[in-house]
Amino acid sequence: METATYQFSRAIYRELASEIAEDPHRNCPNANHERVLRACEAAMERLATDRHYFAHPTRTLFTDIRAYFPVGAQLRVLRVVQRYMDCADEFIRSRPRTGYDLYGNPLHCRASTRRGTPCQRMPIPETGYCPSHQHLADTEAIAA
Ligand SMILES: [Zn+2]
């Protein structure tokens, strides 16, 4: 599926593609290219749909793909991942509040009601909680 975050995963891949290490004797000589691209796409999708539970996007993606690059390229890989993750994060945060994420899933408050069912109100993007559950974000900040 092509979404707005697709451009960010493609950009990371394009910047790093020439440095991906492949084993030319394998049956699929481009297997690692494919893996890097898929990992970038998965990380961007998670950033767009699950931001509040995705604590370390840059570190997570870097850990997923670093094995496909030679030792000498690691620092550059980390910097490229960091740069595009920051851009994507800012892009996602600056979107108008439509009540849906970039993949068309309706957004809901992260809290549960007293009956234990998920709160159905629209969340504030910065915290993921609706205005009446906003105090939970403050509690989280103290705990962190
Ligand atoms: Zn709520």
| Separation of CA 100 and ligand 1 centre (Å) | 16
Per-residue pLDDT of 56-86, as tens digits, reads: 999 999 999 999 999 999 999 999 999 999 9
Hey, which residues does 118 pair with through a beta bridge?
112
Residue 1, SS3?
A: coil
Range with top average pLDDT, 44-48, 96-100, 104-108 = 44-48
| Separation of CA 72 and ligand 1 centre (Å) | 47
d(CA 81, CA 44): 11
H-helix or E-strand containing 49? helix 31-49
Q: pLDDT class for 1, splitting at 50, 70, 90?
A: very low
| Separation of CA 59 and ligand 1 centre (Å) | 30
Domain ranges of the chain: 6-93, 108-144
Q: Is it the case that residue 4 has pLDDT exceeding 80?
A: no
